[in-house]
Structure 1
Amino acid sequence: MERTIDVNGITLGVRTAGRPEDPAVLLLHGAGQSLLAWEQEFVDRLVAGGRHVVAVDARDTGRSTSFPVGQPPYGLRDLVADAAALIEALGLARVHVVALSQGSAVAQLLALDHPERVATLTLAAATPGGPGHEQPDLPPMADHILALFTEEAPAPDWSSREAVIEYLVEGERPYAGDRFDPAGSRAAAERTYERTRDLAAQLTNPFLIDPGKPWRDRLGEITAPTLVVHGSQDPLFPLGHAEALTAEIPGARLLVLDGVGHEIFPRHTWDAVVPAILAHTS
């Protein structure tokens, strides 16, 4: 079921699946994505495992409130406040949080600042303390990713469906691992194009928000059981980031996905990832 929910003065697009009485899993996507990042079959597998799944569009993504391109009037802590307010609005006491990249930063802060709302954490493609903070002890991003940030490609013609879809597909390619799926990426891009309120805002504003005060030194305060899932070929946050995150959260465990980059769980990993999430959230 898809609907919108008003919290904190903005509107969030929300999609739910499964029985409301089952344990709730909240999916938090990465920057530049929307709830469509979580493929329906992946969600169906979690539902088949007895989970009530909630996916949400963060600000500036999907069907949630968008702001002028280049001028997001919010920071990372606002996304955390949105997640906490959404949990309350849905009448959920606690949720199992499954998060990716920027969503994993939100999840870490949610567990620190609203521990009563978080049953477990699953942190994928994450860095300890969040993106945007200086962490010289961790391995740097790959050269080709650094080049993307320093030599940003020109924006597409937003009025051209084909140009935007091609831009979306090629934007994913540098981050993927050994088994990039162009056809699957294109199908996902087409769904994103058809559903998103403001694609220019989605692909711009989430990357501009203020991460706020670093919190890596607080990771030892996290009490939620934590599973860290990371690709062995992540070019943005190399594996050392996941190893540090696992070491700094008490009792955390690490699942390494061979050949996977900085990307939402590829289909070929689901046979390992879904049982791991179901076991972790049981």
Structure 2
Amino acid sequence: MPFIDVPPSSNPLDTAPLRVHYQISTPTDSVASAIDPSLPCVLFLHPLFFAAETFHDQFGSPSLRQFNLIGLDFRVHGSTFGEVWKGFALEDLGEDVSRFITALDIPPVHVVGLSLGASAALWLSINHPSQVASTTIMSIFSPRELPEVAAGRAEIARVWLDGVEQNDMSAYNDAAFGSIQLFFGDQSIDKARRLAQYYSMPQDLAQWNDAATCERIRILGVDTVVTRTVVTTADLAKITSPVLVVHGENDLAYPTSTATDLKSLLDEAGVKKTKLTLIPDAPHFCSVHASKEINALLSSWVLSNIPESSKPLSLPTDVVSPWQAGLYPADDPMEVESSEEEDDE
């Protein structure tokens, strides 16, 4: 995955360029150095504690690889290092994404956000509508953070800090298990363990390894989410792109009313094209658990929001996710659960 330097924002606390780690996959190249300019761009924004590899199943889907797929690691996630200051807001995260789009010099994107990424995607669509061709919001946070969910995130951050201070791998594992419980429940455990063991744990150990760096993820994972500004209908009225709202019906963190209420607010705000899809039996990380359904939904959504002249002529064949080898290594000690193997589309 390459890097790109994103200049600081206008926030006086944002004093240094952000070196963003990102991935581009095209129909013919899993690890591409540039987009295919003839094809639409789909930008994936990941959730808290995990990075771009969360969208492994999407990047390995032929129905989605007919487009340019782009994933980036947020600051203090994956391989994107950076400062997170006291008072860091969702606005700061959204500006990172906007400036990334500008730095990469790509056309308006079909932005797809999951969890924290969904909030960033919605913020981008409100505040930089010219950069967005369509918006997909998956597993959006409640308008005001639920106390029990905030407490769960705070506990994960506290246990991770215990691991750092005591050099205790069991504490790291407990923190990882806590995040899996919050985001997956007892579903798709094989996929969850692979994401945690082969990607997020090694990346997080490199990112959050002393009191100062642990404070960065605590601020972003707890304070930023809890203190975020409630989105109003006046805010939503600034959106010019079509909006798809997706929510898993077995989300342990946020009820389906979070999604249905957002759909109603979008309609009340006059957003011209909106759609709500509830995924039966899916947890918070719905795109990981129900990847076959999500991939078909996203592909259809993007195709419905591009002109005929921009639509790809055919689906690619034999596509491979850029994270395939890392998640399923040749000397893999894990047993693959047959029901959770990648979908052939």
2 CA distance for matches of 1:163 and 1:146?
Answer: 19
Per the alignment, residue 168 of structure 1 pairs with 176
Task: Note the C-alpha offset of 1:165.
Answer: 3.7
Measured against aligned partners, the alpha-carbon deviations of 1:137-192 in whole angstroms (never above 9, x if no partner) come to xxx67x6x4763686663342344564244213321133256241x3222211222
Per the alignment, residue 277 of structure 1 pairs with 298
Per the alignment, residue 277 of structure 2 pairs with 255
Does 2:207 align with 1:198?
yes
Structure-to-structure mapping, 1:2-81, within 5 angstroms: 2-8=2-8, 9-18=17-26, 20-21=35-36, 22-39=39-56, 41-45=57-61, 49-67=65-83, 71-72=85-86, 74-81=88-95
Per the alignment, residue 255 of structure 2 pairs with 238
2 CA distance for matches of 1:33 and 1:72?
Answer: 22
2 CA distance for matches of 1:91 and 1:164?
Answer: 38
Task: Note the C-alpha offset of 1:4.
Answer: 3.8
1 CA distance for matches of 2:65 and 2:92?
Answer: 32
Measured against aligned partners, the alpha-carbon deviations of 1:15-61 in whole angstroms (never above 9, x if no partner) come to 1111512211111112222212222x421216754111111111121
The verdict on how the C-alpha distance between 1:162 and 1:178 changes in structure 2, with shifts beyond 3 A counting, is: closer
2 CA distance for matches of 1:32 and 1:72?
Answer: 19
Measured against aligned partners, the alpha-carbon deviations of 1:86-112 in whole angstroms (never above 9, x if no partner) come to 111111120000001121111111111
Task: Note the C-alpha offset of 1:214.
Answer: 2.6
- One-letter amino acid matched to 1:3: F
Task: Note the C-alpha offset of 1:11.
Answer: 1.8
- One-letter amino acid matched to 1:189: A
Does 2:224 align with 1:209?
yes
2 CA distance for matches of 1:235 and 1:14?
Answer: 30
Say which is worse superposed, 24-33 or 212-221, in terms of deviation. Answer: 212-221
The verdict on how the C-alpha distance between 1:231 and 1:15 changes in structure 2, with shifts beyond 3 A counting, is: same
Q: Please give the TM-score of this superposition, normalised by the length of structure 1.
A: 0.83
Alignment counterpart, residue 159 of structure 2, candidates 154, 163, 167: 154
- Which one has a bigger Cα radius of gyration? 2
- SS of 1:221's equivalent in the other structure is coil
- SS of 1:254's equivalent in the other structure is strand
Tell me the percent identity.
Answer: 19
Say which is worse superposed, 250-259 or 114-123, in terms of deviation. Answer: 250-259
Measured against aligned partners, the alpha-carbon deviations of 1:226-271 in whole angstroms (never above 9, x if no partner) come to 111101122222000100111222331111111112225134x122
- One-letter amino acid matched to 1:119: A
- Check conservation: 1:72, 1:209, Cα contact below 8 A: no
1 CA distance for matches of 2:23 and 2:243?
Answer: 24
Per the alignment, residue 102 of structure 1 pairs with 116
Could you tell me which runs of 5 or more consecutive residues in structure 2 were left unpaired when the two chains were aligned: 9-16, 28-34, 209-213, 304-345
- Check conservation: 2:18, 2:82, Cα contact below 8 A: no
2 CA distance for matches of 1:60 and 1:72?
Answer: 14
Q: CA RMSD in A?
A: 2.7
Say which is worse superposed, 243-252 or 168-177, in terms of deviation. Answer: 168-177
- Check conservation: 1:18, 1:50, Cα contact below 8 A: yes
Task: Note the C-alpha offset of 1:274.
Answer: 0.6
The verdict on how the C-alpha distance between 1:36 and 1:241 changes in structure 2, with shifts beyond 3 A counting, is: same
Q: Please give the TM-score of this superposition, normalised by the length of structure 2.
A: 0.69
Alignment counterpart, residue 102 of structure 2, candidates 88, 97, 103: 88
Per the alignment, residue 226 of structure 1 pairs with 243
